[in-house]
């Protein structure tokens, strides 16, 4: 039987014997983060909060956009963004945009709490009474207690 892999603390990995192999990657990530911040600072606020410089490779800058809606708007600004990156001292021949709603742009995504309607709670309670397994029945009763009346 294999021994389970235990997660290591980030400090142990970054300061350990293999840290030298990670240093170029960390430096490049910091560089991209710095260039991305400079790009956002040079653009107007509605657009700046929806983009991030993800990569620069072979003269192609890849910019992540947080939604397909903003992707359509940002594509019109490709020449302006390219000129801005060139003014920052980057050798850019092309700008590519990609939409990824899960790409972290430094914002918190807050979801409203889930609410169970009272009718669903009653339905779960009735269903729990028809179940013969006592553990499942108890779990369904606990879940049914979360049913709340929704105000219109």
State the pTM of this model.
Answer: 0.57
DSSP of 99-139? E-TTS--S-----PPP-EEHHHHHHHHHHHHT---HHHHHH
3-state class of 145 per DSSP? Answer: coil
Q: How far apart are CA 106 and CA 55, in angstroms?
A: 17
Write out the two tokens for 75: 């594509």
pLDDT digits (tens, 9 = 90+) for 83-112: 999 998 999 999 999 988 776 555 555 667
Strands of the 94-99 sheet, one edge to the other: 51-57, 60-65, 94-99
Q: Tell me the fold of 20-99.
A: GMP Synthetase; Chain A, domain 3 (3.30.300)
| Domains in the chain: boundaries | 20-99, 116-148
pLDDT digits (tens, 9 = 90+) for 54-77: 999 999 999 999 888 889 989 998
- DSSP E strand boundaries for the chain: 51-57, 60-65, 94-99, 116-117, 147-148
pLDDT digits (tens, 9 = 90+) for 112-125: 777 888 888 899 88
List residues bridging with 65 in a β-sheet: 51, 99
Q: How far apart are CA 141 and CA 138, in angstroms?
A: 5
Q: How far apart are CA 65 and CA 3, in angstroms?
A: 41
């Amino acid at each position: 039987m294999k021994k389970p892999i235990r997660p290591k603390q980030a400090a142990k990995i970054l300061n350990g014997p293999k840290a030298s192999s990670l240093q170029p990657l960390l430096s490049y990530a910091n560089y991209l983060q710095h260039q991305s911040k400079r790009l956002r600072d040079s653009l107007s606020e509605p657009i700046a909060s929806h983009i991030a410089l993800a990569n620069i490779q072979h003269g192609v800058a890849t910019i992540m956009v947080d939604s397909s809606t903003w992707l359509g708007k940002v594509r019109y600004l490709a020449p302006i963004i390219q000129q801005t990156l060139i003014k920052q001292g980057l050798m850019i021949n092309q700008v590519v945009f990609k939409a990824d709603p899960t790409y972290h742009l430094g914002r918190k995504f807050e979801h409203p709490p889930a609410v169970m309607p009272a009718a669903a709670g009653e339905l779960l309670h009735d269903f729990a009474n028809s179940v013969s397994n006592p553990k499942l029945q108890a779990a369904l009763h606990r879940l049914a207690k979360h049913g709340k009346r929704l105000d219109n």
